[in-house]
Structure 1
Amino acid sequence: MNRSGQVLSKMSKTYLFDGLEFLFIPNINSSKVTFTRKNLARNGGASVAKKFDQDTTTHVLVDTKVYLTKDKISAGLKNAKVPKTFQPGKILNQTWLVDSIEQQKLLDTKEYIIKLDELKPETRKESPASKQHIENLQKQETKEKLIAESSTGNPNERTIFLLNQMAEERLLQGEHFKAKAYKNAINALNNTGDFISDANEALRLKGIGVSVAQKIEEIVKTNTLSSLNEIKSDKEHQVSKLFMGIHGVGPVSAKKWYNDGLRTLEDVSQKPDLTSNQTLGLKYYDEWLERIPRDECTLHNEFMSDLVSQIDPLVQFTIGGSYRRGSPTCGDVDFIITKPNADNEEMKEILEKILVKIEQVGYLKCSLQKKHSTKFLSGCALPPNYASRLPEYSEGKWGKCRRIDFLMVPWKERGAAFIYFTGNDYFNRLIRLKAVKNGLVLNESGLFKRIKYVQGKNVEDKTMLIESFSEKKIFKLLGFKYVPPEQRNFGANNPPSKLGKHLDQFRIDHKYFDKVVKEEIIDDDVIEVD
């Protein structure tokens, strides 16, 4: 456990061109090539200048497919008011931008510098473009198109990235209403293919208010967000974030501890009134905060499948959450466990046998709940013969303690449970909202119809099961096409280009959605899937 008191944050996304400002020549968006390259630059973290600024412009990028000669480049620089005193080594061929993105590193500019004194002067009559020149141009355009498509495809990616960070920070502070405002703006930006450059353009999009619109304009103009930087640099925020990395600690406890004078994890460990879960959270602080590689999750699944086959070979294991959605890393491992024709009581008995077995072999390191029936939250570690198959482990060493949840599901409820425990949370809210609008209820046990039971003067609200076994049938009954698990990553980091054909069927009335959440028609008493 790191006790230095520094915030152990998740690895943030890095950008190739952070801190750089590019002026494109020609500086017009009518050209598809120029438009694409500007988007690539923005998505790479750079600012794109509307005009040359001696204090902020770091590079001038010239399209040498448009300006072929010394005279044309000189004229282009003059029209853009780039002074002759501007550093010659900072006037580059635009292919430097494309090649840097393709190789995922900031390339040396030496081979891309445009040296005017070495270029040929313009002749009276230019020769027609050669076949080889045309082929090279086509190859370059194809390469740029592929690079652009490998990004999110949204010209507002940088803005979305910073707004999402703001939303996460507000959630950590317990300010859910403010976080919702940022999420709404992110969804609006995801749903437009246009680059939003100022507050007025942002305000035209549904779901964006004045305050967030102003922040969008700030991001575009400065490539950063001052309010986000202020939050991150605030001492109380840093310490609170450190404390909230402890399992079982939320914004209220973190703030109280800060006000009580606590500043480090060492300070917290001296508190006499920590809950058992908070004590365990301190013990396994680094291991539970770290994302689990997908390969390690797979080994946990193999280990448990092998172990439980000794108890009952018919028991089936599936990892839910972000693992089932195809993520390369997971926050924890959610085992969805079922057995053909088994009811709730039999699944409880199977869980008891599993717990005895994993404790015997040493896989179970700690329990995070006193009572359990069909759900068990724990910390577990791979034994040496499994852990040694991972690159960072050596023979004879146990794996890291990871957060492992065992979710026991009756066979007839497996379809509903798979939807519920696969997530993500935003996707689950949308699909449950659709159920509510149709007079239905969807939870981990099934899809139910709301009915009114009348007996004399008494009217009772009841539900009747419609479907619970088949995932695909539940989707169909709700009027949706089936969405594969790996395409259920709805939200800020997954714009329309990644959701493809499944997006339109989930477009919703945001006012109704807010009303449903506020009135708690959609319950939030769920296991948060990573």
Structure 2
Amino acid sequence: MRRPAGKHQTSEVTLEKHDNYNQKLTAILAELGQIEKSKGQMHRARAYEKAVRALRNHPTAITSGTEAQKLDGIGKKIGLKIDEILATGKLKKLDTLNEDPKTKALNLFQQLKHTFTHHQRIGLKHFHEFNERIPRAEMEQLEKIIKETLSEVDEELIGTTCGSYRRGAESSGDIDVLLTHPKYTVATKKKPEAQYLSRVVEALKRKGLITDDISQGSSKYMGVCKLPDDEDEAKEKKEKKKQDSEGEEEEEEVEVEAKKKKRLHRRIDLRVIPYENYYCGLLYFTGSDFFNQQMRKIALDRGFTLNEYDVCPVGSTGVKGDPIEVHSEEDIFELLGMTYKSPEQRNL
């Protein structure tokens, strides 16, 4: 049915662009906010961003800090900075920060950011979080989710968290998981149906555990993971709270989350290894590095070679023989005539 002429006609809507009458103020405060953001001072950065928005949207030029404080988001300390800018045309605090070597380095990083590799950008994105050790309790939670996911993907998948965690450490630098499957062998690993690693990664992404990819091949995945924020007993409520951001006293509606813990981004490596290589790989990736070196030396002294793939006899001519089948780490120790050492005893 045709619409009757003259009715329901549309009119073109245009957005009016306001002039910024406080450009000098907003430019300096925005730069100050960017510096605070690059330093990880997010509360201060947000305070400056809020002030910049208020000044940019104000229909007239601000003539004093006292006048500025009447705007939403501008408190006493930013008001004093506005007085200084209006009086001198600059801000001493910003000049001092711009001369600081650390600030110069951060500014250079910002300028060069587009030239960084994907791997480097991820590292910079989560730099401060990656520098934080992972407590054992958090490692246990990550391990639990990963093991549950393995069972969901395929009940025969085997996964062990290696490194210092397996050796009993109270904290770890990252989470390193070694995977295998009885059907994932040297002979079958390239077959489409044996691509267990990609299936596990996709399942962990669906759960929201993996947040960023660094690199992925057919046998090794490197990425970033994060536990969901702990909300088990959290009771969220909104209240008015005075925050001192850069000494700024301002009323701001904030989320107060009782007993809610903010989780950090963590580095995660997943590696799949053929089933027949699994126990040599488990021994190797558990470490420690020095323990591995000592064990390889003992193996050579006793006529064997040992690496992350297999243990093989070495003839008198130095020719390496066929891999010896092992079904546990204990088998490797026994083969080399060594007393078995549990992972906790390998912290050399």
Q: Same fold (TM over 0.5)?
A: yes
8 Å Cα contact 1:301-1:317 kept in structure 2: no
> Secondary structure, in 3 states, of the residue corresponding to 1:307?
helix
**Counterparts of residues 341-360 of structure 1 (less than 5 Å):** 342-344=184-186, 345=189, 348-360=194-206
Whole-angstrom distance in 2 between the partners of 1:390 and 1:399: 15
- Report the CA distance between 1:273 and its aligned residue: 2.6
Matched, 1:400 2:269: no
Amino acid at match of 2:278: R
Aligned to 2:158: 316
Query: Highest Rg: 1 or 2?
Result: 2
Query: 2-side partners of 1:267 and 1:307: how far apart?
Result: 42
* SS at structure 1 position matched to 2:119: helix
Q: C-alpha distance in 2, partners of 1:389/1:315?
A: 30
Corresponding residue for residue 339 of structure 1: 181
Gaps of 5+ in 2: 1-35, 41-101, 235-256
Structure 1 Cα separation of the partners of residues 181 and 233 of structure 2: 30
Classify the secondary structure of the residue corresponding to 1:310.
Answer: helix
The match for 1:380 is 225
Task: Indicate yes or no: 2:145 matched with 1:303.
Answer: yes
8 Å contact kept, 1:414–1:468: no
Q: Within 1, Cα distance between the matches of 2:159 and 2:37?
A: 34
Query: 2:90 matched to 1:285?
Result: no
CA deviation string 1:52-102 (max 9, x = no partner): xxxxxxxxxxxxxxxxxxxxxxxxxxxxxxxxxxxxxxxxxxxxxxxxxxx
State how 1:69-468 maps to structure 2 within 5 Å: 264-271=105-112, 272-340=114-182, 342-344=184-186, 345=189, 348-369=194-215, 371-384=216-229, 387-388=230-231, 399-451=263-315, 461-468=319-326
Give the superposition deviation at 1:396.
Answer: 7.9
The aligned residue for residue 175 of structure 1 is none
Tell me if the contact between 2:312 and 2:320 (Cα under 8 Å) persists in the aligned partners.
no
Indicate the SS of the match to 1:466.
coil
Cα distance 1:300–1:2, how it changes in 2: closer, same or farther (>3 A)? Answer: farther
Question: Aligned equivalents of 1:425 and 1:264: distance in 2?
Answer: 35
> Which residue pairs with 1:231 in the alignment?
none
Post-superposition offset of 1:452: 8.4
- The size of the alignment, in residue pairs, is 226
CA distance, structure 2, for counterparts of residue 468 and residue 266 of structure 1: 55
Matched residue SS, 2:195: helix
Q: 2:283 & 2:233 partners in 1: Cα distance?
A: 30
Measure, in 2, the Cα distance between the counterparts of 1:451 and 1:489: 32
| CA drift at 1:429 | 1.1
Cα gap change, 1:389 to 1:302, in 2 (>3 Å): farther
Task: Confirm or deny: 8 A CA contact 1:351 1:374 kept in the other structure.
Answer: yes
Tell me if structure 1 keeps the 8 A contact 2:176–2:268: yes
The match for 1:476 is: 334
SS of 1:356 mapped into structure 2: helix
Aligned equivalents of 2:104, 2:346: Cα separation in 1: 39
**Deviations, residues 367-396 of structure 1 (Å, cap 9, x unaligned):** 222x41111111111234xx44699x9788
Q: Deviations over 1:450-503 (max 9, x none)?
A: 3589xxxxxx9444202443211111222211111001110xxxxxxxxxxxxx
* Partner SS state of residue 324, structure 2: strand
Q: 1:461 and 1:321 mapped to 2: Cα distance?
A: 32
Q: CA RMSD in A?
A: 3.2
- CA spacing shift, 1:452–1:348, aligned 2, 3 Å: farther
Task: Report how far residue 336 of structure 1 moved.
Answer: 1.6
CA distance change for structure 1 residues 390 and 447 in 2, over 3 Å: closer, same or farther? farther
Inter-partner Cα distance in structure 1 for 2:202 and 2:274: 20
State the percentage of identical aligned residues: 32
* CA distance, structure 2, for counterparts of residue 266 and residue 461 of structure 1: 57
**Runs of at least 5 residues in structure 1 that lack an aligned partner in the other structure:** 6-260, 454-459, 491-530
Give the AA of the match of 1:407.
R
Q: Hey, what does 1:485 align to over in structure 2?
A: 343
Paired with 2:107 and 2:155, the residues of 1 have a C-alpha distance of 46
**1:400–1:419 CA distance, 2 compared to 1 (3 A):** same
* Alignment-mate amino acid for residue 268 of structure 1: F
